[in-house]
Amino acid sequence: MSAANARRVEPSVEVPISVTVNGETVETTVAARQLLADFLREELRLTGTHVGCEQGICGACTINLDGEPVRSCIMLAAQVDGSSIITVEGLSAQGLGPLQQAFKDNHGLQCGFCTPGFLMTLSTVDPDEYPGTAGIREAISGNLCRCTGYGGIIRAVRTAWDRPDHG
């Protein structure tokens, strides 16, 4: 068998994983080639993680993995074994947080498809490292919105980040 063939994993191979998702431990098996976004949406029914471009460009599928924003549409579910994930559903366990409320109050969403990705990206950002409108634009530069023109999104982030607790 060649080295290339030795590394190939058959799609029917099941891989055991243990992962904490929104504070709950999940122990299961996943297909070796199952994408993380599909695992979250189809197996765990966490449909707030949206799949847009399926290439990691638009940011709609962003989740928090061990404190970092990652694109779940280009990551395998098997890769998260032993990790902790927060999805957009995990942000609202006690109702809308300051950033979510600011998105609502400032018309930071229109169709809402991109909103979970923005919220998940921003939930990992230290507002002090991205001051002002230019900083907000930089912080959200990896997320695409086709509806709003970003005005409402930037107002929402400024509103949340202007709070004493930085939303």
CATH number at residue 67: 3.10.20.30
Give the Cα-Cα-Cα angle 148, 151, 152 (nearest 5 degrees). 75
Domain boundary among 90, 116, 139: 90
Per-residue pLDDT for 132 more than 50?
A: yes
Domain boundary among 75, 90, 105: 90
Strand 24-31 and strand 84-86: pairing?
unpaired
Per-residue pLDDT for 97 more than 90?
A: no
Report residue 114 as tokens: 């991109």
Helix ranges, 18-131 (H): 36-38, 88-91, 98-105, 115-122
Binned at pLDDT 50, 70 and 90, residue 109 comes out as: confident
Helix ranges, 49-87 (H): none
Residues 86 and 124 occupy one common structural domain: no
At 146, which CATH number?
1.10.150.120
Residues 32 and 77 occupy one common structural domain: yes
In the chain, how many domains are there? 2
pTM: 0.83
Residue span of the structural domain in which 125 resides: 96-161
